[in-house]
Amino acid sequence: MFSPETPHGKKLLTTALLKRAVSDIQRARQIHEEKPPLQNLVKQGVVGDDLWEQLTAAEKELDMEVQEVVEEADIYQEGWGPKIFQEAGQIAQVQAQQAQLAAQRAAMEQAQTQLGARNENDELEGHDHSHPHSHDGQQHPPQKATNKSPTLSTSSSATSVIPDGPPRETDEERRQRLERELLEWEDAEKRRKGKAASKTAAKAGKGGKKKGK
């Protein structure tokens, strides 16, 4: 066991308590999202009252947990109790933003991988003729990935224990990067189609000369 009387022990204990508060916020958000639809299902008779009772019991248990965290926070640092969930809310918000950015990057990488495989296949088939990859005969650029994630707004700043730091991109920077990648993709498509048209014209010219002889 670590002692709050030593600087190292106090830091470890307060960090663990703050992580616990973040987990409580995430649980509270989940209960808040599940409660209205479950209440409607119970009223409609789709599900039984036992599920509703489980949810309300979890809500009461969480209320007790929150009170316990506040009391422990005041033990470790006087006056920290009323503020700990504000700091935890800021951390939860940063984590949600990081998860959103990670999902968007993964979607972009997947789209680029699929696009690369498609272009490679087009180059192999382009020696004779090109095949459309969609009903309208046109290739389409990857769609911008969106993954909305709920965030929490708080009035205080997070402490130095925020995991992994702030997001690396702002919304505006991410939008500009996506637009730049799409423009590069369109330029590459134009160059590829231009090369294919040149090859077709060259073959047609050779065929005409042979017929003339």
* Res. 137: pLDDT tops 80: no
Overall domain count for the chain: 1
Among the listed residues 102, 92, 136, 119, the one whose alpha carbon sits nearest the alpha carbon of residue 186: 119
Of 112-116, 141-145, 209-213, give the range with the top mean pLDDT. Answer: 112-116
How many residues can be counted in the chain? Answer: 213
Q: Is residue 105 part of a domain?
A: no
The model carries a pTM of 0.50
Q: Is residue 45 part of a domain?
A: no
Token code pair at residue 203: 């073959």
Of 49-63, 144-158, 186-200, give the range with the top mean pLDDT. Answer: 49-63
Token code pair at residue 43: 């009223």
Q: Is residue 186 part of a domain?
A: yes
Q: Is residue 212 part of a domain?
A: yes
> Is residue 126 very low, low, confident or very high in pLDDT (cuts 50, 70, 90)?
low
CB of 181 closer than 8 Å to CB of 108 = yes
Q: Is residue 142 part of a domain?
A: no
Q: Is residue 92 part of a domain?
A: no
Q: Is residue 71 part of a domain?
A: no
Q: Is residue 37 part of a domain?
A: no
What is the distance between the alpha carbons of residues 27 and 65, in angstroms, rounded to a whole number?
11
pLDDT digits (tens, 9 = 90+) for 159-206: 333 333 334 456 556 556 555 655 666 666 677 777 776 766 666 666
Q: Is 88 exposed, middle or buried (0-12, 13-18, 19+ CB in 10 A)?
A: buried
CA distances from 164 to 95, 135, 168 (A): 9, 44, 10
> Is residue 149 very low, low, confident or very high in pLDDT (cuts 50, 70, 90)?
very low
**201 lies in which domain range?**
169-213
